[in-house]
């Protein structure tokens, strides 16, 4: 196995891990934003609704900000969860 049971846990590694998962959450929220906006535009076209544009985006600014904040918070939470699973409890080593 490429992970040894004697992993060194450092504050720098923990910080980088949390930063990486937070960035991943932000990127995934951008994908969710694109999907929601595409669905909304298709729905608006099918129902012949007028779309209000907010600086090049069809979603209201509160929803845009909410999506990115949810993505960042979700990524941070995911990082904390998997840090605990991989480095603290070492579930991958328990077979």
pLDDT at 83 over 50: yes
What is residue 54's predicted lDDT score, i.e. its pLDDT?
Answer: 92
Distance separating alpha carbons of residues 14 and 18, to the nearest angstrom: 6
Domain residues for the domain of 25 are 16-93
Give pTM, 2 decimals.
0.83
Number of domains in the chain: 1
Q: Does residue 74 belong to any structural domain of this protein? A: yes
Q: Does residue 54 belong to any structural domain of this protein? A: yes
Burial per residue of 79-95, b for 16 or more beta-carbon CB atoms within 10 angstroms, e otherwise: beeebeebbeeeeeeee
Q: Does residue 76 belong to any structural domain of this protein? A: yes
Q: Does residue 1 belong to any structural domain of this protein? A: no
pLDDT tens, position by position, 4-63: 666 678 899 999 999 999 999 999 999 999 999 999 999 999 999 999 999 999 999 999
pLDDT at 1 over 50: no
Q: Does residue 4 belong to any structural domain of this protein? A: no
Q: Does residue 3 belong to any structural domain of this protein? A: no
Q: Does residue 40 belong to any structural domain of this protein? A: yes
Burial per residue of 54-70, b for 16 or more beta-carbon CB atoms within 10 angstroms, e otherwise: eeeebbeeebbeebbee
Structure confidence at residue 89 as a pLDDT band (50, 70, 90) = confident
Q: Does residue 2 belong to any structural domain of this protein? A: no
């Amino acid at each position: 196995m490429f992970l040894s049971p004697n992993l060194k846990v450092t504050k720098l590694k923990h910080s980088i891990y949390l930063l990486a998962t937070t960035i991943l959450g932000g990127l995934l929220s951008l994908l969710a934003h694109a999907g929601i906006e595409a669905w909304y535009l298709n729905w608006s076209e099918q129902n012949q609704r007028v779309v209000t544009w907010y600086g090049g985006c069809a979603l209201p600014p509160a929803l845009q900000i909410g999506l990115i904040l949810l993505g960042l918070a979700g990524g941070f939470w995911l990082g904390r969860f998997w840090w605990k699973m991989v480095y603290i409890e070492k579930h991958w080593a328990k077979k």
